Amino acid sequence: MKKRAKILLIYTGGTIGMIKDYDTGALKAFNFDELLQNIPELKILEHEIDTLSFDDPIDSSNMNVECWVKVANTINENFETYDGFVVLHGSDTMSYTASALSFMFENLTKPIIFTGSQLPIGDLRTDAKENLITSIQIAGLQKNGKPVISEVGLYFEYKLYRANRTTKINAEHFQAFASLNYPPLAESGVYLSVNHNALWRPNRRQKTKLHTGFSNEVLILKIFPGINAATVEYMLSKPGLKGVVLETYGSGNAPSDEWFLDILKRKISEGLFVVNITQCIGGSVVMGQYETSVQLKKIGVVSGKDISTEAAVAKLMYLLGKELSPKVFKTIFETSLRGEMS
């Protein structure tokens, strides 16, 4: 007899958890204890579904490191009881939270699927039902008694992505997310098609380990034409600053002005970690390919390769929490830990 998968559905907040009061027209929080009554289609999945809702739902704009830890701890405390987890989250910062959880869970052996919606679950044209139903189905996929997916994924509008490869690209369309540097892990159509070659393979002989030590003393510095020395000096002189995600042009190019390189070189020598990523949503940093990135490489800027901004921020916070030496930090950051870079 086929085993019924046990799925824990965690509502953290966001549009997907809202339902319209048709008497007033206002949106109110959906009661997830009545999930099966309101979405009877879930009964067809033949999974055991338990729900857990945060007492105070969090708008995704208010997400922070403490919230990430709360979500991770909730999953960790229930890890042995369930076969898979679905996290309902606001779409605006979903890629940040999902990327963070991918680093927090080392050697993850069960699926953690993030999803949300552009319209509330009670809206007539909502995308919430399909996203929710398919996410639960994906979290419950098993083969020979083992989960098919063993990583943190993000499902939206018929596609499952590796979470730490995603970025939100549209605030209005149902197809709100993209993963330009890595193919979808699964696609939903008439059939649910899994790209098995793209899946992350954990070491099932080792237990899943949770890491919660993050440092949020970071910032994103986006290079733009006309950026000046006073601005860069001011931003990089923030008290307590430990790491910077430097968003450069194209394949990792930045101004070759002496003042710019001098500031970076001095800050790096004082212990600041600087990671170079591209502003483009697709493609990779290749430091040294052009003259404008050769000097960045020489002064100790770390290459983010083809990592997304969201994953770069999460990975930087994660590694800063480890208090690594510059050499070890560079080696580990430039290494793919959870499939976040090629």
Tell me which of 15, 166, 167, 278 is the catalytic residue.
15
- Please enumerate in sequence order all residues whose Cβ is within 8 A of that of 185, keeping only pairs 6 or more positions apart, or say none: 149, 151, 153, 160, 161, 162, 194, 195, 198, 199
Cα–Cα distance measured from residue 130 to residue 21, given in angstroms and rounded to the nearest whole number: 21
Question: What are the residue ranges of helices labelled H in the chain?
Answer: 35-38, 65-77, 94-104, 128-139, 229-236, 258-269, 291-298, 309-320, 326-333
Distance, in Å, from the CA atom of 9 to the CA atom of 86, rounded to the nearest integer, reads: 5
Question: What is the token pair recorded at 170?
Answer: 């549209």
d(CA 273, CA 320): 9
* 24 counts as catalytic: no
Q: What is the DSSP string of 146-177?
A: EES--SEEEEETTEEEEGGG-EE--SSSS--E
Residue 329 corresponds to which tokens in the numbers above?
Answer: 């930090």
Which active-site residues does the annotation give?
A: 15
